[in-house]
Amino acid sequence: MHTNTGKVPIPADSHQPRLDLVAVKADFPILDQRINGRRLVYLDSAATSQKPWVVIRAITDYYRKQNANIHRGLHFLAERATAAYEKTRAHAANFMGGVQREEVIFTRGTTEAINLIAYTWGEANIKEGDEIVITEMEHHANLVPWVILAQKKKAVLKQIPITFCGHLDLSDIDNIITPRTKLLALTQMSNVLGTINPVAKLTELAHKQGAIVLADGAQAAPHMPIDVKELGVDFYAFSSHKMLGPTGVGILYGRRELLEEMPPFNTGGEMIDEVHFDRVTWAELPHKFEAGTPDIANVVAFDAALTYLEELGLESIRRHEMELTGYAIERLSQIKGLEIQGPREPAQRGGAISFTDPNIHPHDISTFLDSRGIAIRAGHHCAQPLLRILGKTATARASLYIYNDEADIDALIEALVEMRRYFGV
C-alpha cells in the first residue's frame, strides 16, 4: 500500500480520533462479496451509500416488532411506531445543529424537498421580473424546479459562474444577487466537482438583499458537521440514502415562520385539522407537509444511521475523507493525460472525484473497472449544464466514504493503468 507523501497539505485536528477502518468495513456486509472473482471496491457513494448492519437490523426489527400506522392509532404498536418515527425527527433536528422539531419535514429525498419549496413558497412568492439565483454546478434536483418556476412566473433565472479551478466566481456577485433577487438556491457541495461552497457568506449577501436561501445538502450532510443556524439558510435539504440510511427518506429543514405561511404540498390524510365539504383547515407543523402514510420503517432506520455517523464523529469522518481525497488526487494525477475536475485542495472539496481520459470514454472506463470489481459512476451525474461548461459530455466519478481506504485507491489506480494497456493507450 502506498502512503500519503504529504505533498497535499491536510488540515489536522489532533483532538479527533482516526476512524478504525477495519472495524468500519466489517460493519458493511455488502463489502464481503466478490464481483467477477475480485473483492468489491465500492467508489460510488455520491450516488448512494452502503448500509451498515445496524441500519439493516433496524429495518427488520421494525417490521418484526413495531409495524403499525403512526399518529392515529391508540393501540400499543401504533404508539410504539409513532414514538420511533418521531424520535428520528428529533434526532435529525439535533443533527442539523439543534433546530425545532417542528421545522423538520420528512420527504422522499432531497429532490422532493426542493420541489416542495418550489411548489409552495415559490408559487406564492415569485412574481414576474423577480430573480432566482443558482450556481453553474447545481444538480438537476436544484435546477429543474427553478427553470420551470421561472418560466411559469416569467422570472429571471441567474447563475453564479465557476472558475477554471472549480470554485464559485464571486467577482461579480453584487450584480448577480441584487434587490430583485427573491431566492438563492445553491449546493453546499458539488456532486461533480467536489467543491464546498461558501454557503454562509452567500447567505449573508442574499439576506442583505431580502432574499430567501435554500441549500442543497445532499452531498455535504453525509461527510461533515452541519449547523443550519451557522449557515444562516432558510431551507436545507438532504437525503438518508447518501448517509448510510435507507432510500426513500429525505429531510427538509425550514424556518418555522416561513413554513407557517406556506400552503401544503400534498393533500389528503394526516395533514389536515378539519375537513368539511366546503372548507379544509391544515394540521400544525410539521404534519401539514406530510400527507398520507409515510415510509415509516425507513424513517425509523434512518435514526440508526444518524447514530452510527455520530458515534464515528463527523469531524473524524471529514478528516479521514480529506486525507483519502488528497491521496486519491495525488495518485490519479500521476497517470499522464488524466484530467481531474474541481479543486485539488482536500480542505476545499469533498471526496467525489470526477475525471476523464482523453482516449477512453467514461462509460468504457466504468465498464472496465466493473470487470475488476470496482464500482464507480459514469455519465453527466444529473448536471448537464455544468458538464457543457466543462466541455464534457460525461465524466467518470470515483466517490469516497467512510468504508474506503488507500487500498481501494490503489486498486482503482492499478485497474486504470491496466485499462490503458488493454485499450492500447
Catalytic residue numbers read 382
Choose among 344, 313, 346, 324: nearest CA to 11: 346
CB atoms within 10 A of CB 78: 17
C-alpha count within 13 angstroms, C-beta hemisphere, residue 121: 27
Give me the residue label for grid cell 400552503: 263
Furthest-apart CA atoms within the chain: distance in Å: 73
- Integer-rounded Cα radius of gyration of the chain: 22
For residues 408 and 41, is the Cβ–Cβ distance under 8 A? yes
Cα separation, 303 vs 283, in Å, equals 25
Cα separation, 291 vs 106, in Å, equals 10
Cα separation, 183 vs 313, in Å, equals 33
Strands (E) located in 26-72: 34-35, 38-39, 41-42
For residues 403 and 161, is the Cβ–Cβ distance under 8 A? no
